[in-house]
A and B are shown apart, each in its own frame.
Chain A
Amino acid sequence: MIKKIVSKNFDIKDSHKLKVARENDRYSSLKKLFSMSPEAVLDEVDKSGLRGKGGGGASAGAKWKLIPNPSDKPTYLIVNADESEPGTFKDRQILEYDPHLLIEGIICSSYAIKSNHAYIYIRGEYVFWAKRLQTAIDEAYEAGILGDNVLGYDYKLEVTLHRGAGAYICGEKSALVESLEGKRGHPRLKPKQKEPEWFFDCPSVVNNVETISSVPFIIKEGFEAYRAYGTEKNPGTMLFGMSGHIKNPGIYELEFGTNMLEFINKIGGGMRDGKKLKALVPGGSSCHVLKADELEGITLDYESLKAHGSSLGTGGMILMDETVFMPKVVKNLFEFYHHESCGQCTPCREGVSWSDKLMGKILDGNGTKKDLDTLLSLSFLLNGKSICVFAPSVAFIIDSYINKFKDEFYSLVK
């Protein structure tokens, strides 16, 4: 069930150090990489069907192909390491145990889009990981892996690590780019046609850490080797996380299409203290919640979860046992989203804060049925009327939790 591609070196002692990393295959894809043309590399990644692993699941190859070739402006690769979705902690493992895999991925990806400068935007709270990654980058520069001639080949690549200032919304790619440009981290209006992100008006690709880290395997082993794993539409593997009331919480790399219940019961070991599973959120808190009795037959891939009324998201599952009182979960999530709403557009700025305050009122015992109706009506405006997908996440929470656990919410109100 477990297939280690990205997490191959996680269990090796000192795997974050360059020497150990090189002994364990890191940077071994570069020889093949530089024997290929950038177009061929891009083609390889496109054929592999690699999907973005930051939550959206868009095809990485298609995204890279949006970069004009040749481009009259410099192009940039931006790695999104602003991992702050509640329940998600997969990128952190890569940064902690195998930072050189990420750097190798950056070299492969930058080469494909003909970029000579890559930026890593890391979450501000990841102090330890930022230091570890910076150390790895420094090591790579010293060893001549980064710099004017990557490993002696005729290719120049600079990598800059940039720390965020602690905003969840900067994980949204356009807000991330704004923030990286030195502005306030506000998401941009979505373009009408598909186009690359514009970093200082230059075409750029923004990809998640795990996506970039998956590239070296594809280059080295070829796209068919990657496609051998997973399903037709979801090739490869993904780092799935389990947290909450599970016996063995942690990050496990699985093929796409693995049965969810098997994963929970076999690898996760079932719920703690013999309690029963009540509900789970499949991929970070921004997905629809699933009740325990809805899990039958769900496989871990984008299509299956979509068909079951939720989404795969980042693959960070939060499992809740029968002791959990759902209104409190919702309040907890609302507090998070209220705190993190960037305040740019009206539905999110006012709607999320109002939801939070209403939920507080209900939990204090002062709520009425009308307040729940108000909450449910707010989801109308939160869903699809805002600039980015932050507000819709809150709408999903309102809709799915209140409708699926009606009794618990209505027991609180007069």
Chain B
Amino acid sequence: MAIITVDGREINVKDDALLIDELLANDVSVPHFCYHPALGKDGNCRMCMVEIEGQKRPQIACDTPVKDGMIIRTQSENIARVKRQMLELELVNHPIDCPICDQAGECSLQNFYMEAGLYDSRVDIAKNKKQKHVDLGANVILDQERCVLCTRCVRFTSNITKTHELGVVVRNDHSFISTFPGIKLSNPYAMNVIDLCPVGALTSKDFRFTQRVWFLKPQEAICDGCSRGCSLLVDHNREKYKDDLIYRYRPKHNDAVNGYFICDYGRLNYKKENDNRLKFAYIRGMESEFEYATLKLERLLKRYNSKALLLISPTLSLEEIYRLKKLSQKLDLDINSFDENFDESFGDDMLRQNDKTPNRRAIELQGIESSKEDLQKKLKDKDFVLLINRADVDMIKDLGYDGSIGVLSSSDFLHKDKLDIIIPVASHTQRDGTFINCDDFIQYSKCQIKRDIESIKILDLVEGILNDGVSTCEAVWDSGLKEENFLKDINFNDVRFNSIKIELK
């Protein structure tokens, strides 16, 4: 531990930590472009200058290790002048086209100008002209004029993905970011450069021009693209006369799981939440009243009892799995969770996992059978199979099953007329729940967006049948989930805010 004094305030810091990290951690405003905790220092933007007692010149905080007893000033007149003039220089060749820039509202340059700039422009020379629309590949569009050459994107491709697609070319104020000739930006994590870019130079082809960012409401969620379960921010907004739609996923910083990044597959996975949704309940191919269908389902399950099988999906939350297990016990239903959603070419040594479901581990831990052999055996004497949060009807038909089939799904699928009952359920971002990832971290997905599409949460559906008043995640934990062996030392309230590693005894 060391103690430093910042603007007269004493702060406890870690020894040998970087000054900028400690300042930011203690809510001291330090404008910066090039420094990023995941990419390290580069020292090129020169914005993070602070005065250190005993040093003649201002020093950049990103290249200064803390020392016990350091006296730092971030607000002096000299530093204010440095920041103001540095911003002025960044803007000499910047087009200042904020009104048409997608980054506006979440732009470091804008924020720092409002904080440290606020001067009248002295620039009356012609600005350098560069390319405004360069398709770098991987959904990334580059506007060279807006770029402040912090090289975060370049360092991302060289240090993190090690694919080296980007570089700086040409010298002085004519320099710009570019891919190497004949090469496109193409790696599974490429779109992270859009978040890394502090200004509007790199924007997403997918998101640009769809929403002004200040209208978006972020909610936290866990990615359901693979078993890594990266932390996400779900940006959604309800426009007038429209449904509440999701416009993008962004990574949420989480050191335990994904660090600062997510993969492009996960990032674009929000589309399934908006598009191709199952909109109505169906009974034998006919659109049906929603309540009628749920009652019908209850009657079916109660009638078939041991002749019915719940085929659950590893995309369900821990609470849903627990409740469905309970349901199967109460009504004497069979349960299985065979699922083949693996992609051997998907995983890598960064974040992506071959298992493309978010919660297979929870099924394992709750002791639910998931082998194909077990499913085949159980299907033999079944008259009714209910697919839950999945719609792979062909799979069970291929296994020789030809009885009644019901489906609870959030996304639309083909050949609905062949099925007995179909009920739309809440999609991933419409309901909360906990997930256990490939490394045994239990995480809570908070996001509950209220959509116009009629759908039912599986917890509500089960509660309707069991009639025990347990319909929220917290209630499920209290009703017995917390007694499960693997959750012994874990409190639901802790899981809400942190990724917690479960200890298996």
B162 to A: closest C-beta gap in Å = 15
The reply to whether the CB of B371 lies closer than 8 angstroms to some CB of chain A is no
A77 to B: closest C-beta gap in Å = 27
Q: CB distance A343 to B149 under 8 Å?
A: yes
Other-chain contact of B171, A167, A347, A380, A384 (Cβ < 8 Å): A167
Interface size on B, residues (CB 8 A): 34
The reply to whether the CB of B43 lies closer than 8 angstroms to some CB of chain A is yes
Known: A345-B43, A346-B45, A357-B125. A381 touches B86 (CB 8 A): yes
A76 to B: closest C-beta gap in Å = 24
Known: A354-B89, A385-B82. A340 touches B171 (CB 8 A): yes
Q: Which residue of chain A is the closest to B126 with respect to CB atoms? A: A357
B267 to A: closest C-beta gap in Å = 30
Query: Which stretch, B57-65, B308-316, B478-486, touches the partner chain A?
Result: B57-65
Q: What residues of B have a CB within 8 angstroms of the CB of A378 in the complex?
A: 85
Q: What residues of B have a CB within 8 angstroms of the CB of A344 in the complex?
A: 44, 149
Q: What residues of A have a CB within 8 angstroms of the CB of B417 in the complex?
A: none
B176 to A: closest C-beta gap in Å = 9
The reply to whether the CB of B188 lies closer than 8 angstroms to some CB of chain A is no
Known: A343-B168, A385-B46. A351 touches B89 (CB 8 A): yes
**Complex Cα spacing A351 to B173, Å:** 9
The reply to whether the CB of A387 lies closer than 8 angstroms to some CB of chain B is yes
Would you give the 0/1 interface string for A316-354, flagging 1 where the beta carbon is closer than 8 Å to chain B? 000000000000000000000011111111110111111
Q: CB distance A350 to B90 under 8 Å?
A: yes
The reply to whether the CB of B93 lies closer than 8 angstroms to some CB of chain A is yes
Q: What residues of B have a CB within 8 angstroms of the CB of A258 in the complex?
A: none
Other-chain contact of A350, B63, B82, B93 (Cβ < 8 Å): B93
Q: CB distance B173 to A387 under 8 Å?
A: no
Q: CB distance A349 to B85 under 8 Å?
A: no
Q: What residues of B have a CB within 8 angstroms of the CB of A342 in the complex?
A: 171-172
Q: What residues of A have a CB within 8 angstroms of the CB of B170 in the complex?
A: 343
Q: What residues of B have a CB within 8 angstroms of the CB of A358 in the complex?
A: 125
The reply to whether the CB of A370 lies closer than 8 angstroms to some CB of chain B is yes
**Complex Cα spacing A23 to B302, Å:** 111
Q: CB distance A377 to B85 under 8 Å?
A: yes
Would you give the 0/1 interface string for B83-102, flagging 1 where the beta carbon is closer than 8 Å to chain A? 00110011011000000000
Q: CB distance A184 to B125 under 8 Å?
A: no
The reply to whether the CB of A189 lies closer than 8 angstroms to some CB of chain B is yes
Q: CB distance B46 to A386 under 8 Å?
A: yes
The reply to whether the CB of A403 lies closer than 8 angstroms to some CB of chain B is no
The reply to whether the CB of B240 lies closer than 8 angstroms to some CB of chain A is no
Q: CB distance B92 to A350 under 8 Å?
A: yes
**Complex Cα spacing A354 to B86, Å:** 13
**Complex Cα spacing A349 to B148, Å:** 10
The reply to whether the CB of B41 lies closer than 8 angstroms to some CB of chain A is yes
Q: What residues of A have a CB within 8 angstroms of the CB of B122 in the complex?
A: 370, 374
Known: A349-B149, A380-B81, A386-B46. A354 touches B171 (CB 8 A): no
Other-chain contact of B44, A338, A340, A345 (Cβ < 8 Å): A345
Q: CB distance B85 to A189 under 8 Å?
A: no
Q: CB distance A381 to B89 under 8 Å?
A: yes
Known: A380-B85, A381-B85. A345 touches B46 (CB 8 A): yes
Q: Which residue of chain B is the closest to A344 with respect to CB atoms? A: B44
The reply to whether the CB of B49 lies closer than 8 angstroms to some CB of chain A is yes
A394 to B: closest C-beta gap in Å = 12
Which residues in chain A, 55-79, are within 8 Å of chain B measured between CB atoms?
A: none
The reply to whether the CB of B175 lies closer than 8 angstroms to some CB of chain A is yes
**Complex Cα spacing A407 to B122, Å:** 23
Would you give the 0/1 interface string for A93-120, flagging 1 where the beta carbon is closer than 8 Å to chain B? 0000000000000000000000000000
**Complex Cα spacing A1 to B122, Å:** 52
Q: What residues of B have a CB within 8 angstroms of the CB of A386 in the complex?
A: 46
A156 to B: closest C-beta gap in Å = 35
The reply to whether the CB of A361 lies closer than 8 angstroms to some CB of chain B is yes
The reply to whether the CB of B464 lies closer than 8 angstroms to some CB of chain A is no
Q: What residues of A have a CB within 8 angstroms of the CB of B58 in the complex?
A: 384-385
The reply to whether the CB of B167 lies closer than 8 angstroms to some CB of chain A is yes
**Complex Cα spacing A381 to B92, Å:** 14
**Complex Cα spacing A385 to B78, Å:** 12
Q: What residues of A have a CB within 8 angstroms of the CB of B172 in the complex?
A: 338-343, 349, 352-353
Known: A341-B172, A354-B125. A347 touches B86 (CB 8 A): yes
Q: CB distance B43 to A384 under 8 Å?
A: no
Q: CB distance A189 to B41 under 8 Å?
A: yes
Q: Which residue of chain B is the closest to A345 with respect to CB atoms? A: B44
**Complex Cα spacing A151 to B439, Å:** 63
Known: A189-B41, A189-B43, A361-B125. A343 touches B85 (CB 8 A): no
Would you give the 0/1 interface string for B47-76, flagging 1 where the beta carbon is closer than 8 Å to chain A? 101000000011000010100000000000
B39 to A: closest C-beta gap in Å = 14
The reply to whether the CB of A194 lies closer than 8 angstroms to some CB of chain B is no
B453 to A: closest C-beta gap in Å = 49
Q: Which residue of chain B is the closest to A353 with respect to CB atoms? A: B173
B171 to A: closest C-beta gap in Å = 5
Q: What residues of A have a CB within 8 angstroms of the CB of B46 in the complex?
A: 345-347, 385-387
Q: CB distance A349 to B175 under 8 Å?
A: yes
The reply to whether the CB of A13 lies closer than 8 angstroms to some CB of chain B is no
Q: Which residue of chain B is the closest to A357 with respect to CB atoms? A: B125
A84 to B: closest C-beta gap in Å = 14
Known: A340-B172, A342-B171, A353-B172. A385 touches B49 (CB 8 A): yes
A169 to B: closest C-beta gap in Å = 8
**Complex Cα spacing A343 to B178, Å:** 14
Known: A350-B92, A384-B57. A343 touches B82 (CB 8 A): no
A340 to B: closest C-beta gap in Å = 7
Q: What residues of A have a CB within 8 angstroms of the CB of B168 in the complex?
A: 184, 343
**Complex Cα spacing A378 to B90, Å:** 13
Q: What residues of A have a CB within 8 angstroms of the CB of B49 in the complex?
A: 385
Q: What residues of B have a CB within 8 angstroms of the CB of A377 in the complex?
A: 85
Q: Which residue of chain B is the closest to A337 with respect to CB atoms? A: B172
**Complex Cα spacing A152 to B227, Å:** 66
Q: What residues of A have a CB within 8 angstroms of the CB of B125 in the complex?
A: 354, 357-358, 361
Would you give the 0/1 interface string for B189-233, flagging 1 where the beta carbon is closer than 8 Å to chain A? 000000000000000000000000000000000000000000000
Q: Which residue of chain B is the closest to A350 with respect to CB atoms? A: B89
**Complex Cα spacing A347 to B86, Å:** 7
Q: What residues of B have a CB within 8 angstroms of the CB of A346 in the complex?
A: 44-47, 86, 89-90, 148-149
Q: Which residue of chain B is the closest to A377 with respect to CB atoms? A: B85
**Complex Cα spacing A276 to B430, Å:** 85
Q: Which residue of chain B is the closest to A370 with respect to CB atoms? A: B122
Q: Which residue of chain B is the closest to A190 with respect to CB atoms? A: B63
**Complex Cα spacing A341 to B89, Å:** 15
Which residues in chain B, 144-184, are within 8 Å of chain A measured between CB atoms?
A: 148-149, 167-168, 170-175
Q: CB distance B82 to A381 under 8 Å?
A: yes
A210 to B: closest C-beta gap in Å = 27
Q: What residues of B have a CB within 8 angstroms of the CB of A374 in the complex?
A: 122
What are 7 A-B pairs with beta-carbon distances under 8 A? A192-B65, A346-B149, A353-B128, A354-B89, A354-B92, A358-B125, A385-B46
Given contacts A345-B44, A353-B93, 11 further A-B contacts (CB under 8 A): A184-B167, A184-B168, A189-B63, A343-B171, A346-B44, A346-B89, A349-B173, A350-B173, A353-B172, A354-B125, A381-B85
